[in-house]
Structure 1
Amino acid sequence: MARLVVLGPECAWEVAQNTDTVIDRYRATNIALEYYGNSVINSVMDIGSMVAGFRVARPCPAWLTVMRALLMELIVRYWIGGNLILNIIMLIYPGVAIN
């Protein structure tokens, strides 16, 4: 049952992410000017990754899951210069300069 609680929003986001409204928003905030939406395989793999992450995180204490997520965000920010947190900020508050 718990998997369905997290699977629903993930699937809904994958559908919403490929709507014209969200695609236009990504382009308008300069996150990705050449973004045309995800491929089907990308969306399926995103959902699969979420399921795998849920399976890894479920038996762990909450603090460990939070620490892992923060560590992954920091690594990705350092490695490629962007991460989920910056992506969300740019979608909500376009034009905010974050270096």
Structure 2
Amino acid sequence: MTSSTLSSQSTVGQWLDDPAGAAIFDEILSQAGASRASLEPVRSLPLAQLVPMSGGLITDETVAEIVQRVGGVESTIDPAASTTGAAEAAAWVERITPDRVGPTS
């Protein structure tokens, strides 16, 4: 994959494996005081999937800016779909199940 074919649907791993994409991520991560290692758990996810997962830290506009900076292609995903996903992600709350992993004593 080349920089010109990166999109919001390209995986985080594809972005990091591309020299231009990696440079953008390095800049963003540096500003956040983070490293590429922090993205390892999400390497297989599309860039756009980070929007609902980020709890508002990454917006659709941020993703569009990243794609534009690398000269990538526009996503064919409906922007309303990711907004819906963000609402669902924000509404999700983990429920604690007592003794789910066994007694703690």
TM-score bin (small chain): 0.3 to 0.5
Q: Structure 2 length as normaliser, TM-score?
A: 0.33
Structure number with greater Rg is: 2
Greater share of residues in helix: 1
Identify which of structures 1 and 2 has the higher relative contact order when contacts are C-alpha pairs closer than 8 Å and 6+ apart: 2
Q: Structure 1 length as normaliser, TM-score?
A: 0.34
